[in-house]
Amino acid sequence: MSILPVLGRPGPQTPVRLVHKHIMQTGSVGYAAGGGLIVTALSRDITNTVAPQLLSPGLLMGKVTSTGYWTNSIIGVTQAATLAGATSLTLTAAAATELVRRNEASGTFALIGPPTANGTVATQTVTYSSVNTTTGVVTCSAISAATVSGSFVGGGDGSEVPRSFIGDGYGITLGIDPANGPTLVEWMYIPREGVYEVAQIVNWPTDTSLQQYIRSNLDATGRNNLLASDTM
């Protein structure tokens, strides 16, 4: 268990247990010089059902194009295949709730996935008009291309492209109440070079083309040299 400061909230607070995880294989790990900043208003880890304001080790992260700040790449994953021309798609209730919190009750998001299993991954912008946070159904304009179940839903602000992930340790806390705490949180150790275990990456997909999409973006020429390992 780790004890971390509660950002934006002085005085004793209810304790939250953090679990230490190893993402990187034993060996040299390189970090981005100078670190970066995580924007708290956009960032949550819904896979951490007890405390989504704690970003778990292995959580994929991307940069908002307009600001250069970091946030989690994946808001949620689709729960069923979606056909071209469909006017709705389904997320989990938690992901639907997070979509509303992050991108509001209507707007746009990025949908990332192949049209068929292990096909070519494409990113499309989806315009949505309503979200049922109980059933997870998102009503939208006609989707331009089919996507497989497990496709990624991202913010559509550039951060949907995974560029790194929360590294070894206990994760990063945004504070007990991020909405009323600091607007930015320092991310000191951004993995840039090394070998990571795919089984430890949050939302690691079963579709091989989505797996390669993550690998390719984390190992993009001139940006990172993060190499995946499929062994444990």
In a domain, 192, yes or no: yes
The domain of 83 spans 76-154
CA distance 178 to 182: 7
pLDDT at 231 over 50: no
- Could you please report the per-residue DSSP string of the chain? ------TT--S---------B--BPSS--EE-TT-EEEETTT---TT-SS-TTEE-TT-EEEE-TTT--EEES-SEE-SS-B-TT-SEEE--HHHHHHHHHHH-SSEEEEEEE-SSTT---EEEEEEEEEE-TTT-EEEESPPSS-B-TT-EEE-SSSTTS--EE--SBS-EE--S-GGGS-SEEEE---EEEEEEEGGGSTT--SSHHHHHHHHHHHT-TTT-EEEEE---
More confidently predicted of 222 and 36: 36
CA distance 130 to 123: 21
Residues 42 and 146 reside in one and the same domain: no
More confidently predicted of 3 and 206: 206
pTM over 0.95: no
Domain end marker among 114, 129, 154: 154
Mean pLDDT of the chain: 91
Residues 48 and 83 reside in one and the same domain: no
Residues 163 and 69 reside in one and the same domain: yes
In a domain, 4, yes or no: no
Count of domains observed in the chain: 2
Domain end marker among 121, 154, 187: 154
Residues 148 and 165 reside in one and the same domain: no
In a domain, 6, yes or no: no
Residues paired with residue 31 on neighbouring β-strands, in sequence order: 191
pLDDT at 188 over 70: yes
Residues 92 and 54 reside in one and the same domain: no
Span 3-24, pLDDT tens digits: 555 555 556 666 666 678 889 9
Counting residues of the chain whose pLDDT is more than 70, the rounded percentage is 89
